[in-house]
Chains A and B, each alone.
Chain A
Amino acid sequence: MNSAHAGFPRGGVHPAEGKELSLGPEVVPVEAPAKVLVQVTQHLGKPSKVAVQKGDAVRVGQVLATADGPISAPVHSPVSGKVVKVADVPVVGALQGACIEIANDSKNEGAEEFARRPVIDWSASGTFLGRIRDAGIVGMGGAAFPTAVKLSPPGDARVDCLVLNGCECEPYLTADDTLMRSRPQDVLAGAVIMASILKVGRILVGIEENKPQAISALTAEALGRGYSFSFVGEAPTPEIVVVPLRTRYPQGAEKQLIDALLKRRVGSGKLPFSAGVVVQNVATAVAAYEAVALGKPLFERVVTVSGGAVNRPGNYRVKVGTTLSALVEAAGGTKENLKAMIAGGPMMGKSLRALDAPVTKAFSGLLLLDDREARSFVETDCIRCGRCVEACPMGLSPCEITALAEFSQWESAVGCGALDCVECGSCQYVCPARRHLVARIRLTKLFWRRMKK
């Protein structure tokens, strides 16, 4: 808890990190299965429009669905083969979602295009934003907001800093850490591209201090400018500072990260733009680099597969559209003592009932927890210990909000700041009465939005 490094001002928790499980030497590539299910809409915003039909032959990187309007994103084929059908199937975070099923011919036709030598031609820097938009890049940290939108601040915003989020504060997950260790040049090249689009001269990379190798790798590249190996033409030279941060969950939450790095507070209901900042995840930066240097759309990503109930925990490079069952198979299958399956980290991830859903662009990890890691608890009455108040990074009183929610006092609960809740789960993590605080706050938001309609 005591650290010389900067952190956010209040609240937070430090759960057992569990990162050693999956932190291997390298990223293991996973071959796409015979059948891939590419979710049509993988972002936050207006749903994408399907652009292929049953029977169409597709190549790697071909557009399967196009963006519908400015706050939307296209989706590309991760494999070559034939479109089998477009149908609703189970997806992560919803009961059903439209997916394009492709029969993979395993020929990888079109993939060679993205294997050429990377070149970032700065004389064409005006096209970078368009390339990122066309590549279908969305926030890969989990929010899945279209990256091109985040890189186009509203006219009145005065953005002076790009923040690269390498915190990966969720326990178990090591995909970003692995990416920073193995591809520090690409991370920073992507950051420089995004900084140039934003016209800012400063890039801050925030990394929790429990990732010393990632910190040193990025620091070395920032100092030695090794990231510019693929640059052609007159490249900008932004100031890049790698900042080790206190290891405390949720350090990677946007507002907490901005506070730790810049001592700026993003107000309630405001976006980072209001504080002159744009935050991008490190994996998103790599995707931006690949889009600009190789013209490669976002159709694969690094996913952590971890937990006590998986045989080969580690980080896997998988094609978007790979079913979770195929991913688990690549990770050696599950053990007998499997107790819970979670999409994402243990603090904010979603429980999975089955593994038929496909990997999406924002899918950061799959946890297969054993019966010691995943436990169910019986909720008892609140004893008003105040630990949730202490743990809340947003300065809320979760016990009060949920007490109101229990009596359907949605308006009062919102008055207590329910809408500020980022659902990080810190309150529920510390609650000795094991109360379902986050679920009740989610309900509050849901009912409030319905009332407003």
Chain B
Amino acid sequence: MSETRLLLQSSPHVRDVSSVQGIMHTVILSLVPALIAGVVFFGWRALAVTVVAVASCLAVEAAILRLAGKPVKTALVDGSAIITGLLLAMNLPSNLPFWMVGVGAVVAIGVAKHAYGGLGNNPFNPALVARVFMLIAFPGAMTSWPVTTCNGATDVLTAATPLGIMKMEGAAAAMQAASWWDLFIGNVGGCLGETSALALLLGGLFLLWRRVISYEIPVAFIGTVAAGTAVAWLVDPTKYPDPLWQVLSGGVMLGAWFMATDMVTSPVTRKGMLLFGVGCGVVTCVIRLLGGYPEGVSFSILVMNGLTPLIDRYVKPARFGAEAAQAEGGKA
């Protein structure tokens, strides 16, 4: 029995099986249905954009890790760069030029993630930072939406998204362009991974079941969007479609289940998550109903990312025995 090979460490000496890598791989798996839906509705170009996004995110990650002198291999296999690539692709139109996708990857991994210290240290969701950057840098390409291939058209043709139609022409035209069913299965124009509520719901429920996410953020987010748009709908049904239509359209499902639930950029407490979700919903409603953009999910999540440190500072878990200590203090 040689002493040197014995493990000396501070307690606890046993660990749960879950790991960062395991969490990331579960998230990757949960995005598969949305990716399949993207390919079904937007053709192989959707897959190509996704592959380019993931590959360039991995390349940028590897390059930066090497430059920073950090271990390249372990950080690459943790899966986080793959997720950023996948989520970035989900937020892009399928007809986007590949070089723009590459630029997005540089912004996501290079600026939004590693400039802040890498995984765990970025205040804003990297994929969303890249998306908003691209929306400003390439406004035309980022808002020309291919028509879904199911409508018998090829991906050369473009059309406005249902939310774009709502903004320009009102509720009736928007609801005519896209029925609940179209929105539910994803047979509408939009980013390649955001249109199919069904596929996103499947992935989201999978994450919930595997306990990678908890219900607070998606439920609060979607619930708030439903409540806010319901008010608008009751006030002016000619201008605003019903809340179900609103919840199924645009980026709400992708945002609420996959983007807002990003652990790094959302609060750590359950109560904080609820607040975060409600905040996302409110900002989304304000932009959708009152703002200049047809959709506000990306902005809303980034705004709430910025508020996350504040939420964590003021929304703390209930300390055990706090009430007893208070009662004691009150007596004295």
Known: A16-B14, A383-B23. 15 other contacts (CB 8 A): A15-B14, A267-B322, A269-B325, A346-B12, A347-B14, A351-B9, A351-B10, A353-B8, A378-B74, A383-B20, A383-B264, A396-B319, A397-B268, A420-B319, A429-B12
- Across chains A and B, which 6 residue pairs bring their CB atoms closest together, nearest first? A425-B12, A267-B325, A267-B324, A381-B120, A386-B268, A265-B324
Inter-chain residue pair count (beta carbon < 8 A): 177
* Size bracket, chain B contacts: 35 or more
Q: Assess whether A346 is in contact with B268, with CB atoms less than 8 Å apart.
A: no
**Assembled-state Cα–Cα distance A139/B119 (Å):** 45
Q: Assess whether B312 is in contact with A400, with CB atoms less than 8 Å apart.
A: yes
Q: Assess whether B11 is in contact with A375, with CB atoms less than 8 Å apart.
A: no
Query: Given that A397-B268, A400-B312, A429-B15 are known contacts, is A386 also in contact with B324, CB under 8 Å in the complex?
Result: no
**Assembled-state Cα–Cα distance A106/B322 (Å):** 54
Which B residues touch A342, using CB under 8 A? 13
**Assembled-state Cα–Cα distance A451/B12 (Å):** 27
Q: Assess whether A354 is in contact with B12, with CB atoms less than 8 Å apart.
A: no
**Assembled-state Cα–Cα distance A430/B6 (Å):** 23
**Assembled-state Cα–Cα distance A267/B113 (Å):** 41
Is the C-beta of A97 less than 8 angstroms from some C-beta in chain B? Answer: no
Residues on B lying within 8 angstroms of A by beta carbon are 1, 3, 5-16, 18-20, 22-23, 74, 78, 117-121, 263-270, 273, 312, 316-328
Which A residues touch B265, using CB under 8 A? 384
**Assembled-state Cα–Cα distance A369/B9 (Å):** 13
Query: Given that A384-B120, A420-B319 are known contacts, is A369 also in contact with B19, CB under 8 Å in the complex?
Result: no
Chain A positions 250 through 263: 1 when the CB is less than 8 Å from some CB of chain B, otherwise 0:
00000100010000
Which A residues touch B118, using CB under 8 A? 381
Q: Assess whether A268 is in contact with B6, with CB atoms less than 8 Å apart.
A: no
Q: In the complex, what residue of chain A is closest to B211 when comparing beta carbons? A: A387
**Assembled-state Cα–Cα distance A433/B268 (Å):** 15
* Size bracket, chain A contacts: 35 or more
- By DSSP majority rule, is chain B's interface helix, strand, loop, or mixed? loop
Q: Assess whether B9 is in contact with A270, with CB atoms less than 8 Å apart.
A: no
Q: Assess whether B13 is in contact with A381, with CB atoms less than 8 Å apart.
A: no
Which B residues touch A384, using CB under 8 A? 120, 263-266, 268
Q: Assess whether B3 is in contact with A346, with CB atoms less than 8 Å apart.
A: no
Q: Assess whether A389 is in contact with B269, with CB atoms less than 8 Å apart.
A: yes
Selected contact of A425 from candidates B11, B120, B319, B324, CB within 8 Å: B11
- Closest CB of chain A to B84's CB: distance in Å? 13
Selected contact of B269 from candidates A13, A348, A397, A432, CB within 8 Å: A397
Which A residues touch B270, using CB under 8 A? 386, 390
Which A residues touch B121, using CB under 8 A? 381
**Assembled-state Cα–Cα distance A21/B75 (Å):** 38
Q: Assess whether A434 is in contact with B15, with CB atoms less than 8 Å apart.
A: yes
Q: In the complex, what residue of chain B is closest to A336 when comparing beta carbons? A: B1
